[in-house]
C-alpha cells in the first residue's frame, strides 16, 4: 500500500505541510508499525513529522493505531500509568521513587520505558538496582500489583513494533512521533488509567491539555524534570489534572513562586546504585523525601480515589 500519499501531505515543510485527520493518521501509523513500508519511508515519516509537529488529530490517530498493537493489561480498579523515557542526565531520576511511594499507599502503578539509554540513567536501571527487574508479561505485572509493588515493563515487551520505531532515533539521530505516542500509551483495559504526561516546552503542554479535553482523558500534566514526569525535587511545578477530560481545580496546583529557601537533601551522584540507596532510605523514613514529590503523590492518590469512586462517570457519558 505504502505511505507516499501521507508523506506528500506532511512533508512540505513547516509552513506548507498539511495535517492528517484521525483516520489517515491511524492508517499511516498502522502501516509503519506493521512493517508494511520501507526503511526509507519510515525515515521520511520520522523527519517530516519532526519538522511539522503533531496536531491533536494526528496524535489521536497515532495513539489509536499503537494502542491496538499493545499488550492489554486487565485490571479491576484504576491504575496509575507512568511513562519514563528520558532518564537522568544531571539530576537524579526520581520516577522510581514516585512509583514506589504510590504503590506503598496501595495504588496499582505501571511504569513503562526503555531498558537502557547510553546517555541517561533509566528508571529500568534504578528498578533493577532495587531488586525490581522488568516484568516480561501481563502475569508478572499482576504479580507485582498483588505484592503492592510498582510494575515496570519495557516498551519492547509492552509494544514491540513501537520499540522498533523508537529505535529509528539511533539511525537518524532525532526522536520521532513514536516517542510522543509512547508517553501517551494507555494499555489498561476494564478500568480507568490515570496517566502522567510531562512537557519541556510550553506549546507541547498546550497540545497535551487540548488532547486531554478532546479525548476525555484521565491525566496529570506537569513540566518534566529532564523530561521525566516526576515533580522537580527542588521546586514544585505547576500540575494540572483532568478526569474524564474535565480539568479538576482541586486536584491541580500552581507552580511554586519565590526564591528557593533551602535545597532538598538529594543524592550527590545520579548513578542507579546511588539513587536506589537514596530511595530506600526515603521509603524507610530515614531521609526526608522531596516536598514536591509528596505533593504530587497526594494529588495522584486523591485523583485515583475519585476515579475508583466513579465520581466522573457522568462526565464520560
CATH tag for 73-316 (out of 3.40.50.2300, 3.40.1030.10, 3.30.2270.10, 3.50.50.60): 3.40.1030.10
Pairing outcome for strands 151-154 and 108-113: parallel
pLDDT of residue 310: 85
Q: At what angle do helices 56-67 and 22-33 cross, to 10 degrees?
A: 40
Q: What is the DSSP letter of 250?
A: G
126, 271 in Cβ contact below 8 A? no
User: Rounded to two decimals, what is the model's pTM?
Assistant: 0.94
91, 97 in Cβ contact below 8 A? no
* CATH node for 4-67: 1.20.970.10
Please give the C-alpha separations between residue 157 and each of 139, 146, 238, 300, in angstroms, as whole numbers. Answer: 12, 20, 32, 26
Give the dihedral sign, CA 147/149/155/156: negative
197, 184 in Cβ contact below 8 A? yes
For residues 282 and 15, which has the higher predicted lDDT (pLDDT)? Answer: 282
226: left (phi over 0), alpha (psi -120 to 50) or beta: left
d(C-alpha 97, C-alpha 150), whole Å: 10
61: left (phi over 0), alpha (psi -120 to 50) or beta: alpha
Domain with CATH 3.40.1030.10 in the chain: 73-316
Domain with CATH 1.20.970.10 in the chain: 4-67
Give percent above pLDDT 70 in the chain.
Answer: 96
286: left (phi over 0), alpha (psi -120 to 50) or beta: alpha
Residues 57-110 have pLDDT tens digits of: 999 999 999 999 999 999 999 999 999 999 999 999 999 999 999 999 999 999
92, 275 in Cβ contact below 8 A? yes
Angle 174-176-178 from CA coordinates, rounded to 5°: 140
pLDDT of residue 316: 46
295, 253 in Cβ contact below 8 A? yes
Amino acid at each position: 500500500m505504502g505511505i507516499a500519499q501521507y508523506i506528500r501531505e506532511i512533508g512540505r515543510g513547516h509552513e506548507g505541510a498539511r495535517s492528517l485527520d484521525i483516520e489517515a493518521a491511524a492508517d499511516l501509523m498502522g502501516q509503519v508499525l506493521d512493517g508494511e513500508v520501507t526503511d526509507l519511508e519510515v525515515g521520511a515519516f520520522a523527519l517530516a513529522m519532526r519538522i511539522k509537529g503533531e496536531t491533536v488529530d494526528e496524535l489521536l490517530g497515532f495513539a489509536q493505531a499503537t494502542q491496538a498493537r499493545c499488550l492489554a493489561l486487565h485490571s479491576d480498579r484504576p491504575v496509575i500509568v507512568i511513562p519514563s523515557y528520558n532518564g537522568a542526565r544531571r539530576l537524579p531520576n526520581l520516577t522510581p521513587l514516585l512509583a514506589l511511594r504510590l504503590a506503598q499507599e496501595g495504588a496499582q502503578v505501571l511504569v513503562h520505558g526503555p531498558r537502557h539509554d547510553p546517555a541517561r540513567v533509566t528508571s529500568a536501571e534504578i528498578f533493577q538496582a532495587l531488586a525490581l527487574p522488568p516484568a516480561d508479561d501481563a502475569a508478572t505485572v499482576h504479580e507485582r500489583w498483588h505484592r503492592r509493588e510498582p510494575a515496570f515493563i519495557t516498551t519492547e515487551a509492552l509494544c514491540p513494533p513501537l520499540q522498533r520505531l523508537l529505535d529509528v532515533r539511533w539511525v537518524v539521530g532525532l526522536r520521532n512521533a513514536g516517542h510522543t505516542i509512547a508517553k501517551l500509551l494507555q494499555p489498561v483495559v476494564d478500568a480507568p488509567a490515570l496517566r502522567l504526561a510531562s512537557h519541556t516546552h510550553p506549546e507541547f503542554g498546550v497540545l497535551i491539555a487540548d488532547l486531554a479535553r478532546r479525548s476525555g482523558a484521565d491525566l496529570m500534566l506537569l513540566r518534566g524534570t529532564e523530561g521525566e514526569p516526576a515533580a522537580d525535587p527542588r521546586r514544585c511545578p505547576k500540575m494540572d489534572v483532568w478526569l474524564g477530560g474535565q480539568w479538576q481545580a482541586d486536584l491541580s496546583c500552581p507552580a511554586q513562586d519565590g526564591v528557593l529557601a533551602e535545597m532538598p537533601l538529594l543524592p550527590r551522584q545520579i548513578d542507579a546504585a546511588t539513587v536506589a540507596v537514596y530511595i530506600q532510605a526515603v521509603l524507610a523514613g530515614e531521609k526526608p523525601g522531596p516536598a514536591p514529590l509528596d505533593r504530587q503523590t497526594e494529588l495522584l492518590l486523591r485523583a485515583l480515589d475519585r476515579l475508583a469512586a466513579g465520581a466522573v462517570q457522568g462526565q464520560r457519558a
